[in-house]
């Protein structure tokens, strides 16, 4: 009984925080703190990854590309799941903030996926001897980038933004099928890409001297994303108010 | 990091690309926010550029 009332209270608090006006106010307070923490972790991750962590016994110094490449890949997948979840929430609940948050997150997810693909290519050339191979992991990650592009294009393709949001939300949900393919592609197919070494059963198979900078950079990417996402969602919310005000004044002018 | 090691240019390029894309996304988010918050403030007669 107590648990049910606690869940209800949390739900009510979240609904209140998700009211556009309240969200703009709350996010304004959060953004500087989240951004500062993200920047501090980014600097700590860079120092640890570029200066303190050792070179790999096989790959040498090129292993340091991992501290940029892997967190970007994790973010590409995480943000897509978030975009799809928010789209689903918007379709089911019809909450305008869910669509605005999905629209704000998609370009950031595309950016992280692009960072992952480009840094992967820069890692692949010295290690594999090729900038690109049509390997299952690389190809499914490229497909993820195209899904992001599709989401971004669809959400902006209609004069009525709500129609675009709905179409993009459907694409987001359908595209979720690609997430387990990306994750398990290295297990399901013979790929040039190495299998998972951090998020695997039995714990990470990576030395702590390399795991720490990786986790620091992953936390930094999460916080930087969160700060940028809040800024972009606020922009979407205020932009929607501006469009509504412009449409009101147009209608008044026509009378 | 040993800058004399082979393939250093690939490491620097990877971090450079990361900085450019992250920095670009940050600047673009900030610029868009300044634009809409400024327009909102002007609409409400406050004349500011937003915060």
Could you read off the pLDDT of A25-68 as tens digits, one per residue?
Answer: 898 899 999 999 999 999 999 999 999 999 888 888 899 999 99
Contact yes or no for B32 and A111 at CB 8 A: no
Q: How many residues are recorded in chain A?
A: 255
- Per-residue pLDDT of A118-159, as tens digits, reads 999 999 999 999 999 999 999 999 999 999 999 999 999 998
Structural domain spans, chain A: 70-232
| Cβ–Cβ < 8 Å for B45, A165 | no
- CA dihedral in degrees (A57, A62, A66, A67; nearest 10)? 100
Question: How much is the pLDDT for A231?
Answer: 96
Q: In chain A, how long is the greatest CA-to-CA distance?
A: 76
Q: Mean of the pLDDT values across residues A219-230? A: 97
Q: Which of A51, A231, A241 sits opposite B40 (nearest CB)?
A: A241
Query: A132 φ, ψ to 5°?
Result: -150, 140
Closest residue, chain B, to A120 (C-alpha): B14
**Rounded Cα gap, residues B14 and B11, in angstroms:** 5
Q: Mean of the pLDDT values across residues A215-241? A: 95
Percent of chain A at pLDDT exceeding 90: 64
List CB contacts (< 8 A) between A231 and chain B.
Answer: 29-30, 33
Q: What is the DSSP letter of B51?
A: -
Q: Which of A72, A126, A239 sits opposite B36 (nearest CB)?
A: A239
Q: What angle do CA A14, A20, A21 make, to 5 degrees?
A: 105
The answer to whether B26 contacts chain A (CB < 8 Å) is yes
Question: How much is the pLDDT for A115?
Answer: 97
Question: How much is the pLDDT for A3?
Answer: 72
To probe the interface with A, which of B2, B8, B11 has the most A CB atoms within 10 Å? B11
To probe the interface with B, which of A54, A64, A66, A125 has the most B CB atoms within 10 Å? A64
List CB contacts (< 8 A) between B40 and chain A.
Answer: 238, 241-242
Place of tokens 């969602």: A233
List CB contacts (< 8 A) between B44 and chain A.
Answer: none
List CB contacts (< 8 A) between A28 and chain B.
Answer: 51
**List of residues 6+ apart from A197 with CB closer than 8 A:** A204, A205, A206
List CB contacts (< 8 A) between B39 and chain A.
Answer: 242
Nearest C-alpha of chain A: how many angstroms from B6?
Answer: 8
pLDDT-based confidence at residue A13 (cuts at 50, 70, 90) = low
Question: How much is the pLDDT for B50?
Answer: 47
Of A94-98, A103-107, A164-168, B42-46, which range is least confident?
Answer: B42-46
| Structure token pair of residue B43 | 């609409």
Question: How much is the pLDDT for A163?
Answer: 92
Q: What is the mean pLDDT of chain A?
A: 90
| CB–CB contacts below 8 A, A to B | 85
Question: How much is the pLDDT for B10?
Answer: 94
Closest residue, chain A, to B42 (C-alpha): A242
Contact yes or no for A235 and B36 at CB 8 A: yes
Question: How much is the pLDDT for A93?
Answer: 84
pLDDT surpasses 70 at A71:
yes
List CB contacts (< 8 A) between B13 and chain A.
Answer: 122
Quick check: helix, strand or coil at residue B40?
helix
pLDDT surpasses 80 at A201:
no
Q: Mean of the pLDDT values across residues B40-51? A: 68
Nearest C-alpha of chain A: how many angstroms from B15?
Answer: 7
């Amino acid at each position: 009984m107590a648990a049910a009332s606690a869940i209800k209270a949390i739900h009510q608090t979240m609904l209140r925080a998700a009211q556009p006006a309240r969200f703009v106010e709350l996010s304004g307070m959060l953004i500087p703190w989240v951004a500062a923490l993200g920047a501090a972790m980014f600097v700590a991750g860079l120092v640890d990854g570029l200066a303190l962590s050792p070179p790999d016994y096989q790959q040498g110094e090129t292993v340091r590309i991992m501290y940029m490449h892997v967190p970007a890949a994790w973010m590409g997948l995480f943000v897509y799941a978030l975009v799809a979840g928010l789209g689903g929430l918007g379709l089911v609940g019809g909450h305008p903030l869910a669509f605005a948050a999905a629209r704000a997150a998609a370009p950031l997810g595309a950016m992280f996926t692009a960072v992952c693909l480009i840094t992967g290519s820069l890692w692949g050339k010295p290690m594999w001897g090729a900038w690109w191979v049509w390997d299952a992991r690389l190809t499914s990650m490229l497909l993820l980038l195209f899904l992001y592009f599709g989401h971004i294009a669809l959400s902006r393709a209609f004069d009525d933004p709500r129609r675009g949001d709905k179409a993009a939300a459907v694409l987001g949900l359908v595209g979720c099928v690609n997430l387990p393919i990306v994750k398990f592609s290295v297990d399901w197919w013979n790929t040039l890409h190495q299998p998972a070494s951090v998020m695997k059963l039995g714990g990470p198979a990576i030395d702590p001297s390399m795991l720490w900078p990786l986790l620091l950079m992953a936390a930094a990417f999460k916080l930087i994303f969160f700060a940028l996402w809040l800024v972009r969602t606020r922009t979407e919310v205020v932009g929607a108010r501006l469009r509504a005000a412009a449409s009101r004044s147009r209608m008044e002018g026509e009378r | 990091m040993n800058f004399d090691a082979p393939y250093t240019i690939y490491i620097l390029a990877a971090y450079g690309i990361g900085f450019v894309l992250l920095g670009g996304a940050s600047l673009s988010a900030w610029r868009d926010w300044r634009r809409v918050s400024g327009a909102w403030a002007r609409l409400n007669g406050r004349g500011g550029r937003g915060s």
